[in-house]
Amino acid sequence: MANSHFGNLGDVWKHLVLAEVLEREPPRWYAETHAGSAAYPLDRDPQREFGIWRFLAAAPRSAELARSRYYAIAGSCASASPATYPGSPLLAMTILGNSSSYLLCDLDPGSVADLRSWSRQLGLRNCEVAGADGMAAVAAYLARGEGRGDGLVHVDPFEPDAAGPGGASALECAAEIADSGSALLFWYAGPDGVPARLRALTDAPLWCGEVTVVIRDASARNVRRSGTPGVVGVVLAHVQPATAGACAALGQALAEAYAGATLPSGQPASLTFTGRWLAASGRT
């Protein structure tokens, strides 16, 4: 398992949005460049206390969060024995089942084995798992003309500028996907202007939803040191306005659910949410 951050606040926001988009606009095919494992053994690590455990405790008090498919799936996994956390591929497999085909990529052999095992367990008929650079694999898939407009690609790198063995960075790959007309979910952490940088690379319609951890007398950098990212966001391309609106309502509800929260370091913390369409770049 290469992804030790599963179930943290960044995952909660990303997966809340992913499940909402898949429910509202089920794609004919679904691809992940950085899939991770299908599921993870769920413990009480401080990152996950501030992430999935707080979310599961607070969601029943919020009509918006309680109705989400993410809450239903993550809650059922957490209360199973042994408790697990569903990664993005398992959320997609559970929501879409055999009505979609899949291309799931990861460089980590353990993640690849877990993805194959879950795909078999769920009886998926059309699920390709590639132990390869996901950015190159998805670019080849699009170039072959297999993915045309009616699919969704989830690009979820640890770093937006990290290039895979195939050469392209995650941000460049995301722009190519958006330009192809496919729907995109791109995840990022940190206040580094990632949405504006993606905006400059593509003319596709982009919506951005960002959650910021706010603590008194501390910068986002300090929050990050405590094991929780200070800013976590998703950029969506080619989604309907109603879908973006529903994601914004979830972001607002998430911020409200974290009133009075405590960071893993013990400091009181709250969340703010902003959701916005990114104005066209005017590229020529």
Ligand X SMILES: C[S@@+](CC[C@H](N)C(=O)[O-])C[C@H]1O[C@@H](n2cnc3c(N)ncnc32)[C@H](O)[C@@H]1O
∠ CA 203-206-211, rounded to 5°: 145
Binding mask 189-228 for ligand X (x = CB under 6 A): ----------------------------------------
Q: State which of residues 158, 192, 225, 245 lies at the interface with ligand X (CB under 6 A).
A: 158
Listed in sequence order, the residues at least 6 apart from 187 whose beta carbon sits closer than 8 Å to its beta carbon are: 10, 14, 154, 155, 156, 157, 232, 233, 234
Place of tokens 């370091």: 265
Buried b / exposed e over 151-190, threshold 16 CB at 10 Å, is bbbbbbbeebeebbeeebbbbbbbbbbbebebbbbbbbbb
User: Per CB under 6 A, does 277 bind ligand X?
Assistant: no
User: Per CB under 6 A, does 252 bind ligand X?
Assistant: no
186 touches 234 (CB < 8 A)? yes
Residue 180's Cα: distance from chain center in Å? 20
User: Per CB under 6 A, does 88 bind ligand X?
Assistant: yes
Nearer residue to ligand X within complex by CB, 215 or 232: 232
Where would I find the H helices in 43-201?
Answer: 46-48, 54-58, 63-66, 69-79, 88-96, 109-121, 134-143, 170-180, 194-199
DSSP state of 279: P
Query: At 88, which amino acid appears?
Result: S
Stretch that binds ligand X, among 130-138, 200-208, 255-263, 268-276 (CB under 6 A): 130-138
Q: How far is the CB of 203 from ligand X (least distance, A)?
A: 26
Residues in the chain: 284
Phi and psi based region of residue 238 (left: phi greater than 0; alpha: psi -120 to 50; beta: remaining): left
For the segment 162-191, give every residue that binds ligand X (CB under 6 A): 164
Nearer residue to ligand X within complex by CB, 30 or 207: 30
Q: How far is the CB of 89 from ligand X (least distance, A)?
A: 7
| Residue 63 exposed, middle or buried by CB count within 10 Å (0-12, 13-18, 19+) | exposed
Q: State which of residues 134, 195, 229, 233 lies at the interface with ligand X (CB under 6 A).
A: 134
Q: State which of residues 45, 108, 150, 256 lies at the interface with ligand X (CB under 6 A).
A: 108
User: Per CB under 6 A, does 106 bind ligand X?
Assistant: yes
Q: How far is the CB of 162 from ligand X (least distance, A)?
A: 7
Q: How far is the CB of 105 from ligand X (least distance, A)?
A: 5
Binding mask 27-66 for ligand X (x = CB under 6 A): -----xxxxx------------------------------
Nearer residue to ligand X within complex by CB, 121 or 219: 121
42 touches 83 (CB < 8 A)? yes
Q: How far is the CB of 260 from ligand X (least distance, A)?
A: 27
For the segment 11-30, give every residue that binds ligand X (CB under 6 A): 11, 14
Q: How far is the CB of 241 from ligand X (least distance, A)?
A: 25
User: Which spans of this chain sit near ligand X (rule: CB under 6 A)?
Assistant: 2-3, 11, 14, 32-36, 87-88, 105-108, 111, 133-135, 156, 158, 164
